[in-house]
Amino acid sequence: MAAHGDRLAVSTDDGELTYRELADRVTEVARRLGTGRRLVLLAGSNTVDALVTYLAALHAGHPLLLVPGTSAAVPALVEAYDPDVVVGRTDGRWTLDERRAGSAHTLHPDLALLLSTSGSTGSPKLVRLSHTNLQANAESIAEYLGIRADDRAATTLPLHYCYGLSVVNSHLLRGAGLILTDRSVTDTGFWELFRRRRGTTFAGVPYTFELLDRAGFAGMRLPHLRYVTQAGGRLAPEAVTRFATLGRRQGWDLVVMYGQTEATARMAYLPPELTTVCPEAIGVPVPGGSFRLVPLPDRPEPDIGELVYAGPNVMLGYADGPADLALGRTVAELRTGDVARRRPDGLYELVGRRSGFAKILGLRVDPQRVEALLERHGVRSCCLGADDELVVAAAGCVDPDGVRRLVAGECGLPPRAVRVCPVPELPRLPSGKIDRPAVRELARTATPAGRDDGSSARTVTASGGRDGDVDLCRLYAEVLDRADVAPGHSFVDLGGDSLSYVEMSVRLERALGHLPADWHTRPIRDLAAGARTGRRRRSLETSVALRALAIVLVVGSHITLFNVTGGAHLLLGVAGFNFARFQLTDADRVDRLRQIRAGVTRVALPAMTWIAVAALVTDDYRPTTVLLLHSLVGPDDSTTDWHFWFIEALVYLLLAVAALLASRRMDRLERRFPFGFPVALVAVGLLSRYDVSGLDARYDLPTAVVAGWLFALGWAAARAADVRQRLLVTVAVLVTVPGFFGQPQREALVVAGLVLLVWVPSLPSLGVLNRVAGVLAASSLYIYLTHWQVYPHLRDHELLALVVSLGAGIGYAALAARLGRLPGRVAARLSGRLSDRVAARLPGRVARRARSRV
């Protein structure tokens, strides 16, 4: 390490260490440990003290037993292995406790490190690793990842976990830097540190990638990120493809890897260029290693067998107690216990666990295959064979009967042999892996959900104030009119838009008492969990409040009950804000365009229908207005055709953006620069706002062009991810809105609303106020449409005119929603009849599978 001199070695929240400084500290601790070999137990953590002690023990040749610093099992391991030295934090201070001058053990000269087999500290069974194992695996990883001296890796995994430790070893080997932290990836402080220290890489287990989704990783600006690695369990192929695609858009690679503690860390990796082609594969052996397949009696296929690995990183063997520390190598290769197949392209793919099968009522069931099946249906689970039943621990708000039927149909088991135990969250080890012994204990003590007679079981619910227990999945299904809602889905995943968003947010807030700002992108299960731990205070989303306020101001000003103008232009900014949140998802380009098209339809179709009816009844509107073309073709002398300028502007803007993003290049640019893209559109829009070169005077531009920059400002407000970007949007609002109308009050309203969007996600509120605002905001489009035909009949009763105008719009919104659901319900009914007819013609087991899949 000293040879790397003043190159940066370690960065923390508190400062930095060069390699020379790190080497000096390691030498000092190694001197304290002495030259006579002793067994050292390190209660580790992602801190400089723990890192220095780990390196000092290796440097001085002391075998090291590495365990979590916060583990309650540390005393048990101290008793089981009787270490000579115990190092860790005691009463807030880092201490080195020398329990004896020499050693009580016979230590084999090759022994360097002792790690738990699973990341747990509950079992005294340990993996014995040598200096050669550590060196060989670090070199192999550094080679296939192409680790460079200017790389800086964040410690997203614990030091005592072989995967987290391999990140440390491989980067120090190449003279790269470590960003040492124990913060979670859901902590904004982690990403601030990562950006500040110019992080280039981090590692994750499957659970880490769930947390990344919650943290809004897809929208983060990480300019120095070079690659992300994944191991520690199977990541669903769909997730591999999604994150790999995201990385390609943003300029970083995803490297999927496979390993076990018994192989020091890694045995295989999937080259980044293959992640979207073969996302289900574990890849090829790491440099220096090799695989072979051992045939299995129950799997006669020639290309399938138990995966066996050989290489210099294979452990010395296991230790069950102190006497085993004297042993040398007892294994030459590693039988992984995983069943794999070698594909024609040379890649390896896992297809199950040899020892993981359960024998239930005479049938062999692979719990991992069941977990993968449920994962495809949005259910996180852990499956265990117990006696004559399959136990399924399912996290979040699940339908136990639905899960039971799905699993039973897939496995060919009777439903009575499947026991579903809903849990708020699956228990996990410090490494992020599922704690299966804890799940087994939960299953042993849990009351089974549902009954064998087919009666409906109660799902996991979120307590909801005066409304009692509210089933969140059913609530989503009701509001969005979807029959396929699962706890892993989010509002955006289910195709929610700005219209359904209002009703959903108000009803969720009523059920849960408080909504996080990013609720629309969070899985339903997270909201259910938050309901059990969150604060019970009422709040109202700022965008919802602004929509409700703006539509009241628009109608009241037209009635002349008061004169507070600017509401429609504020609604244009809010529309851009919601467009960025609901239409610009992580879906591919075709799906995005489909969502935008659906959004245009939901605005244009009810508008054209209402205007057509009004034109037949009143003769106030021409065919060009019915077709939303008045802004383009006139006539200019009409006193009523201009009424729907806002609807036309919104439709034109959505169509223009759809046309722009239909280009693959523009789609990639928007994904790569989610904030810069709308800022550029604001700049383009300002050409017409300031009438550069007399464009408006010469061409009489439609309002969509003249005021389109407000839509883009709202879009930019939704994409502003940090303080610097929010300040930029705020400055743009303060500079460009004043002077646009020449009416200070009108401009002040638009400025205040847009600034609130930028800085204040939600406002303190009351339950009754939320319900009123929710209805008004959800119906704002329809109120805008209908009020022109309502209030003229009540001019002498202005307040009544306002109330009736709002009520008429709310009524039209309800009618439009009911009519809009008819096609989907008819299709669902036809689909159900078709599936029943198909299933009726199939044998029993196949029919059960067909029904579950349909």
Banded model confidence at residue 830, pLDDT cuts 50, 70, 90: very low
| CATH number, domain 2-348, options 3.20.20.370, 3.30.930.10, 3.40.50.2300, 3.40.50.12780 | 3.40.50.12780
**CATH domain 462-537 topology:** 1.10.1200
Residues 294 and 310: their CA atoms lie apart, in Å, by 13
pLDDT at 495: 73
Q: Tell me the mean pLDDT in the region 171-182.
A: 96
For residue 435, the model assigns a pLDDT of 81
Q: Where are the alpha helices (DSSP H) in 412-561?
A: 436-445, 472-480, 498-512, 524-533, 542-559
- Gap between the Cα atoms of 558 and 137, Å rounded: 74
Q: Is the pLDDT of residue 56 over 50?
A: yes
- Ranking 117-126, 604-613, 749-758 by mean pLDDT, the lowest is 117-126
pTM comes to 0.54
Per-residue pLDDT tens digits for 678-696:
999 999 999 888 887 666 5
**Do the Cβ atoms of 502 and 547 come closer than 8 Å?**
yes
334 contacts 260 by C-beta, under 8 angstroms? yes
Q: What is the mean pLDDT of residues 248-272?
A: 95
Average pLDDT over residues 794-813: 93
- The whole-angstrom separation of Cα 197 and Cα 621 is 62
Domains of the chain, by residue range, sit at 2-348, 356-445, 462-537, 563-762
Question: pLDDT at position 213, please?
Answer: 85
Q: For residue range 317-334, what is the model confidence (pLDDT) as tens digits?
A: 999 999 999 999 999 999
Instruction: For the chain, give the percent of residues with pLDDT over 70.
Output: 86
**For 194-216, how does the pLDDT look when each residue is reduced to its tens digit (9 = 90+)?**
999 999 999 998 889 988 988 88
Percent of the chain with pLDDT over 90: 52
- Residue 123 confidence class, pLDDT cut points 50, 70, 90: low
pLDDT of 444 higher than 80: no
pLDDT for the residue numbered 824: 43
Residue 434, strand partner residues:
428
| Confidence bin at 21 (pLDDT 50/70/90) | very high
pLDDT in tens, 626-661: 999 988 887 766 778 889 999 999 999 999 999 999
pLDDT at 759: 94
Mean pLDDT (the chain) is 84
Cα dist. 396→164, 423, 426, 636, 718 in Å? 28, 6, 9, 58, 29
Range name among 201-210, 291-300, 615-624 with the lowest pLDDT average? 291-300
CATH code at 356-445? 3.30.300.30
- pLDDT given at position 345: 92
Position with higher pLDDT, 337 vs 711: 711
134, pLDDT greater than 50? yes
pLDDT of residue 745: 93
Q: Which two structure tokens, joined as six digits, stand for 131?
A: 């200096």
Q: What is the predicted pLDDT for the residue at 820? A: 66
> Model confidence at 595, in pLDDT bands (50, 70, 90)?
confident
Give the number of other CB atoms < 10 A from CB of residue 232: 24
Residue-level pLDDT at 486: 72
The predicted structure's pLDDT at residue 419: 87
